[in-house]
Amino acid sequence: MKTLRVILGDQLSQRISSLKECHKNNDIILMCEVIEEAKYVKHHQKKIAYIFSAMRHFAEELKNQNHIVIYTKLDDDNNAGSFTSEVANAIKKHNITDIHITEPSEYRVLADINLWQQKFEINVSILPDDRFLCSKDEFISWAGSRKQLTMEYFYREMRKKYSILMQDDKPVGDKWNFDSENRKTISTKEEIPKPIVFKPDSITKEVIKLVNERFSDHFGDLEPFELATTRAEAILALKDFVENRLHNFGDYQDAMIEGEPILYHSYISFYINSGLLLPIECIKAAQREYHRGNAPLNAVEGFIRQILGWREYIRGVYWLKMPSYADENFFAAKRKLPELYWSGKTDMNCLHQCVSETKKNAYAHHIQRLMVLGNFSLLIGVDPKELNEWFLIVYGDAYEWVELPNVSGMVLFADGGFLASKPYAAGGSYINKMSNYCKNCKYKISKKTGEDACPFNYLYWNFMITNRDKLKNNYRLAMIYKSYDKMADDKKQTIKSDSEKFLKELK
């Protein structure tokens, strides 16, 4: 009997369930780069290079440990072009009797794999992905019949389950959440430590050449390429964060500065989501820094909440609500994604900065994604499918399970409030408070209407007016609508006319 153990491109961990009890002398590990995955959306060039390079390095590690590995490169003459076809070839060549695969992270891939047993007429074992800290069944049980799922309550249960930042049955510091302390502005004069960078080796250089040849029409800058592509390098990236940036992560996690895309963020989501780092080891590394007195509680708790709370919660929502979640469009938004999301050409400096950094790095931190790029899309009424595809394309850490609930639920309120209790709509004041973007902008943040007013200011009110019928019963927005109703009629008309003019000219 020969078992085929299939490893997908975001399962690059030797602790993955599909590799447990792997018999080195008999079992065959299959990894393949397939054009179907590289082009089902036109992924950022750097994203493709990262995934292929990390896959090739992982395969080499397995071979060096005497595993039998079949690895198909994208440009191999015998590349069949899809996971299913590659598996079919392996079955024919190696007399495979059964298949072990860890459940994929995306619904469409799982749908294909669910057909394998009937197609190949051999046993296919789809194993739980135990890198995640909350199983699908556990999340479904927690969700129960709740009409709205509050992440905070889920997060508390996870803290208790794993005894993270706990003292007996109480949270360390007597508070579960220190988010209110994590919105400080940062001086442009502060010397911010740069994250560790890694020079491409021969494997990565070969991949860069491949991407240049095959995907040069895709969005994004391929070079400089400075990402970790091995487990050892990813561990160094985690160590670099906890030692040099974690201590200020809490205070400045919402801050934005021109020319500083990373600031005090961890910059390790690439590695967690592809498998080079395990979520629990990142959580425990941060917790150790707190107990050693090297990082304050607000920073450590904020970081841990993103992984143990938000990341697990988002994954749970994805599997709970798919496949219908991909079609949610509460506001019936229809606008095409503006060209500026690809070119970065706009007089709105905040958008220009965030798109430009995304193009260069295949990365932007969560406030740039939510309060600038996402907020603008919400206010102008971008079709959720348009924005979901863009996020999936441009970010190197984006897979549908994490991208879709964040965009449809958190950014666009497309699910009508299942995930968030109110839309994350905002004028320009928060961007001005948390960044220096407004200082170098054509528009004036202090002006609410008029030719040189910040478009966020009047677009915010226009959004609230346009969607009043759907939002008027939301208790969190009652004061907003009361404020609008007190406005003079001429101000209301100016908001409407300014918004109509801006949206008409937006291409």
Instruction: Tell me: pLDDT of 47 over 90.
Output: yes
Domain of residue 376, CATH code: 1.10.579.10
State the total domains in the chain. Answer: 3
Please tell me whether residues 75 and 184 are part of one structural domain. no
- Residue 220 within a domain: no
Other Cβ atoms within 10 Å of 110 Cβ, number: 15
| Domain finish residue from 84, 101, 127 | 127
- Residue 51 within a domain: yes
- Residue 333 within a domain: no
**When comparing pLDDT for 358 and 188, which is higher?**
358
**pLDDT confidence of residue 148:** 77
Q: How far apart are the first and last CA of the chain?
A: 60
- Residue 305 within a domain: yes
Q: Distance of CA 138 to CAs 145, 165, 225, 307, Å?
A: 14, 22, 39, 17
Q: What are the start-end ranges of the H helices in 217-361? A: 231-244, 246-252, 269-274, 279-291, 297-304, 312-321, 340-343, 349-361
| Domain finish residue from 127, 144, 164 | 127
Instruction: Tell me: pLDDT of 242 over 90.
Output: yes
**pLDDT confidence of residue 57:** 98
Q: What secondary structure letter does DSSP report for 372? A: I
Please tell me whether residues 309 and 409 are part of one structural domain. no
HEC states along 393-451? Answer: HHCCCCCHHHHHHHHHHHHCCCCCCCCCCCCCCCCCHHHHHHECHHHHCCCECCCCCCC
Please tell me whether residues 15 and 152 are part of one structural domain. no
| Average pLDDT, integer, range 192-205 | 97
pLDDT band, residue 245 (cuts 50/70/90): very high
Q: Which residue has the tokens 């397939």?
A: 34
State how far the Cα of 164 lies from the Cα of 309, in Å rounded to an integer. Answer: 11
HEC states along 105-140? Answer: CCHHHHHHHCCHHHHHCCEEEEECCCCCCCCHHHHH
**pLDDT confidence of residue 179:** 86
pLDDT band, residue 146 (cuts 50/70/90): confident
Please tell me whether residues 117 and 189 are part of one structural domain. no
Instruction: Tell me: pLDDT of 395 over 90.
Output: yes
Instruction: Tell me: pLDDT of 350 over 90.
Output: yes
Please tell me whether residues 168 and 147 are part of one structural domain. yes
- Residue 201 within a domain: no
Distance of CA 411 to the CA centre of its chain: 12
For 170, the enclosing helix (H) or strand (E) is strand 170-171
| Domain finish residue from 292, 321, 350 | 321
| Average pLDDT, integer, range 101-119 | 96
**pLDDT confidence of residue 184:** 87
CB 407, CB 387: distance < 8 Å: yes
Q: What are phi and psi for residue 195, nearest 5 degrees? A: -70, 155
Q: Which of 298, 304, 269, 267 is nearest to 285 (CA)?
A: 304
pLDDT band, residue 436 (cuts 50/70/90): very high
Question: What is the β-pairing status of strands 170-171 and 98-102?
Answer: unpaired
Please tell me whether residues 366 and 401 are part of one structural domain. yes
| Average pLDDT, integer, range 329-340 | 98
Angle, helices 45-64 vs 202-214, to 10°: value is 140
For 327, the enclosing helix (H) or strand (E) is none
| Average pLDDT, integer, range 409-438 | 95
State how far the Cα of 183 lies from the Cα of 186, in Å rounded to an integer. Answer: 10
Domain of residue 72, CATH code: 3.40.50.620
Amino acid letter, residue 379:
L
**pLDDT confidence of residue 147:** 76
Amino acid letter, residue 143:
A
- Residue 210 within a domain: no
Please tell me whether residues 184 and 300 are part of one structural domain. yes
**pLDDT confidence of residue 477:** 95
Kindly report, residue by residue over 309-319, the tens digit of the pLDDT. Answer: 999 999 999 99
Domain of residue 191, CATH code: 1.25.40.80
Instruction: Tell me: pLDDT of 182 over 80.
Output: no
In the chain, pLDDT over 90 holds for what percent of residues? 93
Q: Which of 322, 348, 364 is nearest to 105 (CA)?
A: 322
pLDDT band, residue 183 (cuts 50/70/90): confident
| Average pLDDT, integer, range 128-151 | 92
Please tell me whether residues 42 and 107 are part of one structural domain. yes
Please tell me whether residues 477 and 456 are part of one structural domain. yes
Please tell me whether residues 13 and 85 are part of one structural domain. yes
Task: Note every long-range contact of 467-474, with CB atoms under 8 Å and residues 24 or more positions apart, other chains counting.
Answer: 467/331, 470/330, 470/331, 470/416, 471/422, 471/423, 474/417, 474/421, 474/422
CB 414, CB 331: distance < 8 Å: yes
Please tell me whether residues 310 and 360 are part of one structural domain. no
Please tell me whether residues 408 and 261 are part of one structural domain. no
State how far the Cα of 474 lies from the Cα of 396, in Å rounded to an integer. Answer: 35
State how far the Cα of 113 lies from the Cα of 115, in Å rounded to an integer. Answer: 5
As a residue count, the chain comes to 507
pLDDT band, residue 190 (cuts 50/70/90): confident
- Residue 123 within a domain: yes
Beta bridge partners of residue 72, listed in sequence order: 32
pLDDT band, residue 108 (cuts 50/70/90): very high
For 39, the enclosing helix (H) or strand (E) is helix 35-39
Domain range for 420 is 340-505
For 208, the enclosing helix (H) or strand (E) is helix 202-214
pLDDT band, residue 145 (cuts 50/70/90): confident
| Average pLDDT, integer, range 427-439 | 96
- Residue 239 within a domain: no
State how far the Cα of 113 lies from the Cα of 95, in Å rounded to an integer. Answer: 19
When the pLDDT of each residue in the chain is averaged and rounded to a whole number, the result is 96
Kindly report, residue by residue over 14-34, the tens digit of the pLDDT. Answer: 999 999 999 998 999 999 999
Instruction: Tell me: pLDDT of 1 over 80.
Output: no
**pLDDT confidence of residue 180:** 81
